[in-house]
């Protein structure tokens, strides 16, 4: 059971706790259909049985060990062309949270996973509803690995595995919401250049030559940034810069 945080302006001020649910994003999207659902509504569960991640991947978490939640936002002030800024501020908020734990080598893996070294600490899925030329709402779902010690794949880690500390989930939730709210308020203030620069400064693999895959073929390239719509910009070995959407490129090594 979670309590409404006392340290935020509106993030989590309306809290919906489900001991178990299929997907917090699905439940949050249903709540969005009710006009009375306020911005900052938090949907959180101890056990998500059918979590969804980027590219249609499933998100797995051990019950009661991590923070599995979705936030309802209403960014009606944001131009549709700038919708990737939602990805940036959510991932930066999570990044800011992890930085308070004094963990080194934290980066954001495009579009919005948060990594410790080469292992995932947090997965994020943002789903927007748009009507005409305006946002109606946005649901930001995230699974943040806190106390879990064993994962089915070797590409994930948790705060506990890194620090050896057992964390109280309520305390971590409050700190996380503070950091996300601070970034969201900067977005409301239209601090787009600051947000983008902060995102690029911690972008995983940026400025380093690595192996990628696109259309079934591997190639060497260097991440040089993102374009105005949030697509990834990669410079190939022939110095040509190519842009990729979410399902058009994957990381190899």
Residue 12: Cβ within 10 Å count: 26
Model confidence at 126, in pLDDT bands (50, 70, 90)? very high
> Does residue 221 form part of some domain?
yes
Identify the CATH number of the domain in which residue 143 sits: 3.30.930.10
- Cβ-based burial of 151 (10 A; exposed 0-12, middle 13-18, buried ≥19): middle
Q: What pLDDT score does 39 carry?
A: 98
Output the CA angle 153-27-133, nearest 5 degrees.
105
pLDDT at 154: 76
The total domain count for the chain is: 2
In degrees, to the nearest 5, what angle opens at C-alpha 69 toward C-alphas 25 and 112?
Answer: 80
Indicate if 44 and 75 belong to the same structural domain: yes
- For residues 68 and 162, membership in a common domain is answered with yes
Residue 6 lies in a domain: no
β-pairing verdict for 232-236 and 119-131: unpaired
Confirm whether 90 is domain-assigned: yes
Question: Does 226 lie in the same domain as 150?
Answer: no
Residue 155, C-beta contacts closer than 8 angstroms, at least 6 positions apart: 118, 119, 120
Same domain for 154 and 35, yes or no, is yes
Segment 58-79 mean pLDDT = 91
Rounded to the nearest integer, the mean pLDDT of the chain is: 94
Residue 241 has pLDDT above 90, yes or no: yes
The model carries a pTM of 0.94
> How far lies 123's CA from each of 10, 51, 130, in Å?
23, 11, 23
Kind of pairing between the strands at 51-52 and 58-59: antiparallel
Residue 144, domain member (yes or no): yes
What is the residue range of 120's domain?
Answer: 15-201
């Amino acid at each position: 059971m979670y309590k409404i945080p006392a340290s935020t302006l509106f993030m989590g001020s309306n809290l919906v706790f489900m001991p178990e649910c299929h997907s917090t994003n699905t439940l949050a999207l249903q709540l969005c259909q009710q006009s009375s659902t306020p911005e900052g509504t938090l949907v959180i569960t101890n056990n998500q049985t059918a979590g969804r991640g980027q590219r249609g991947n499933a998100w797995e978490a051990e019950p009661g060990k991590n923070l599995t939640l979705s936030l309802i936002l209403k960014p009606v002030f944001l131009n549709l062309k700038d919708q990737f800024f939602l990805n940036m501020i959510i991932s930066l908020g999570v990044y800011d949270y992890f930085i308070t734990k004094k963990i080194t080598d934290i980066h954001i893996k495009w579009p919005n996973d948060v990594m410790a070294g080469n292992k995932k600490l947090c997965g994020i899925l943002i789903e927007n509803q748009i009507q005409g030329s305006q946002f109606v709402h946005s649901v930001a779902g995230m699974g943040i690995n806190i106390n879990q010690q064993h994962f089915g794949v070797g590409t994930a880690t948790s705060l506990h595995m890194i620090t050896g500390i057992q964390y109280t989930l309520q305390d971590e939730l409050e700190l996380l919401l503070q950091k996300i709210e601070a970034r969201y308020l900067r977005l409301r203030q239209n601090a787009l250049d600051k947000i983008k620069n902060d995102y690029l400064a911690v972008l995983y693999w940026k400025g380093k030559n690595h192996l990628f895959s696109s259309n079934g073929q591997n190639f060497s390239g260097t991440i040089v940034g993102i374009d105005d719509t949030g697509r990834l910009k990669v410079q190939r070995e022939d110095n040509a810069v190519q842009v990729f959407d979410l399902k058009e490129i994957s990381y190899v090594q």
